[in-house]
Amino acid sequence: MFEARLSQGSLLKKLLEAIKELVTDANFDCNETGIALQAMDNSHVALVSLLLRSEGFHPYRCDRGFSLGVNLNSLSKILKCAGNDDIITLKADDNSADSLSLCFESPNNERVSEYELKLMDIDQEHLSIPETDYDATIIMSSTEFQRICRDLMVISESVSVDVAKDAVVFSAEGEMGSGSVKLKQNPSVDKPEEQVVIELNTSVSLQFSLKYLMNFTKGTPLSDQVMLGLSENMPLLVEYKMDDAGYIRFYLAPKIGEE
C-alpha cells in the first residue's frame, strides 16, 4: 500500500508546472524515504531530478519500492482541479499499480474531490548526474534569476555566465546588440530577496541555452532562492530547495563553442 498526504497541496501543483514543459512521461520512484523522479528532456540536453522526502508528508506510507509511470500532462491537468489550499492525498496499490488515486480536501473539509489517473508502463533507463563539488556556487533570489533570463532572452538565445570573486556577470550577444547584468556579492541576511552569495574556488566562464534556463525558472514559485552550481566543462546545476520537503534540481549541458 502506498499513501502520501500532503497538507500543502499547492507544492505539488507548482512542481508539476515546473517540470511538465521538459518531460512528458516519467516514472515517480517511490520508496520508504520518499518520492523521486529523474528524467531527461527529449533532446537530452537537460535533466530534472526531483525529490520529495517522506518527512514532507503527513502521513507517508510506502511498504516497498515501486514506480508510478505518469503522463505528466495528464497529471498536471488533474492537479489543476485542486484548490491552492487543498490537502492532497496520493494513493496507489504498490504491488500492481495501474492507477493513481488523488484526493483533494478543502481546508475546512467541506469539499472532497477524488480523481483517478491511469498509469503507464514506462520502460526507461534510470539516469542521474553524480554530485560534485562545483568551482563556483551562487545563491541568489529566484525571481531575480528569472528576470535576468527573461531580459537577456530579448538579446540572444544563449547566455554567458562569468563568475569572479565578488560578482557574477550574465551577458548575451545577439544580432540586434548585446546586454549584460552584473550582480555583486551581497550577503545581507535581512533582505533575502537581495542576497547574493558567491562561493568560488576558481573563476569560471560558461555558456548556456537561455531557452532551457527559461524552462528551469518555472521552478521559481517553489522557493525564494535559487542555487546555481558551475564548473568548467560540467553541466550547470540549478536547484530550488523546498525547505525540508525536498528539492528540484535541473542540470543543463554547457554550450561548447559554436555548437
Partner 1 sequence: MTEDLTRFKKRRLHASLSTNAVPSFEEQLALLQENELQESTNADERRHQIWERPNVPKIKPNQDSIIFQQIEVDECVEPKSREPLIRMFGITETGNSVLCYVTGFRPYFYIPEPIGFRENDMAAIQRQFERAINLDNGLTNPIERIELIHKESIWGYHGNKKSPYLKIIFSETKALNSARHILSIKFNDRQLRELTFESNINYVLRFMIDCKVTGANWIELPPKSYNLRNSSRKTSTCQLEIDINYPPENEWSKIAPLRILSFDIECAGRKGIFPEATKDPVIQIANTVTIQGEKNPFIRNVFTLNSCAPIVATDVIEFYDQGEMLQAWRNFVDPDVIIGYNIVNFDFPYLLERAHHLKVKEFPYFGRMKSNFYVKTEAKDTKFSSKAYGARENKFINILYYIKTLQLDMLQVMQRDYKLRSYTLNSVCAHFLGEQKEEVHHSIITDLHNANSETRRRLAIYCLKDAILPQRLMDKLMCLINYMEMARVTGVPFNYLLVRGQQIKVISQLYRKAFEQDLVIPALKSEGSDDQYEGATVIEPERGFYNVPIATLDFSSLYPSIMIAHNLCYTTLLDNRDIENLGFKCDVDYTTTPYNNGLLPTILEDLLSARKKAKADLKKETDPFKKAVLDGRQLALKVSANSVYGFTGATVGKLPCIEISASVTAYGRQMIEKTKQEVENQYTIANGYQHDAHIIYGDTDSVMVKFGVDNLVDAMALGKEASDYVTGKFVKPIKLEFEKVYFPYLLINKKRYAGLYWTNPEKWDKLDTKGIEKQTVRRDNCLLVQNVIETSLRKMLIDRDVAGAEEYVKKTISDLLQNKVDMSQLVITKALSKSDYSAKQPHVELAERMRKRDAVAYVIVKSTKGAAAYEKSEDPIYVLENNIPIDTNYYLENQLSKPLLRIFEPVLGEKAHSLLAGDHTRVVQIATPTIGGLMKFAVKTATCLGCKTPLSKHDTAVCRHCKPKLGELYQRQLDAVNKLEVHFSRLWTQCQRCQGSLHQDILCSSKDCPIWYMRKKAQKDVQDAATLLERFNYAW
Residues forming the site for partner 1 (CB under 8 A) = 21-22, 24-25, 27, 29, 31, 36, 38, 40-47, 64-67, 69, 118-130, 211, 234-235, 251-253
Gap between the Cα atoms of 135 and 229, Å rounded: 8
Alpha helices in 5-109, H assignment, sequence order: 9-19, 72-79
Left if phi > 0, otherwise alpha if psi is -120 to 50, otherwise beta: which for 74?
Answer: alpha
Asked if 198 and 229 count as a contact pair (C-beta separation under 8 A), the reply is no
Nearer to partner 1, 197 or 253 (CB): 253
- Grid cell of 110 as nine digits: 467541506
Nearer to partner 1, 63 or 194 (CB): 63
- Grid cell of 29 as nine digits: 520512484
Strand, coil or helix: 203 = coil
Nearer to partner 1, 27 or 89 (CB): 27
Asked if 45 and 95 count as a contact pair (C-beta separation under 8 A), the reply is no
Nearer to partner 1, 130 or 187 (CB): 130
On the 0-12 / 13-18 / 19+ scale of CB atoms within 10 A, 257 is: exposed
Between strands 136-141 and 196-200, the pairing is antiparallel
Gap between the Cα atoms of 139 and 99, Å rounded: 39
Nearer to partner 1, 66 or 240 (CB): 66
Least CB distance to partner 1 at residue 106 (A) = 31
Least CB distance to partner 1 at residue 203 (A) = 21
- Grid cell of 26 as nine digits: 516519467
Least CB distance to partner 1 at residue 171 (A) = 21
Nearer to partner 1, 123 or 133 (CB): 123
Closest CA to 223 of 11, 74, 76: 11
Least CB distance to partner 1 at residue 129 (A) = 6
Strand, coil or helix: 151 = helix
Least CB distance to partner 1 at residue 235 (A) = 5
Least CB distance to partner 1 at residue 253 (A) = 3
Least CB distance to partner 1 at residue 93 (A) = 13
Nearer to partner 1, 40 or 181 (CB): 40
Asked if 56 and 242 count as a contact pair (C-beta separation under 8 A), the reply is yes
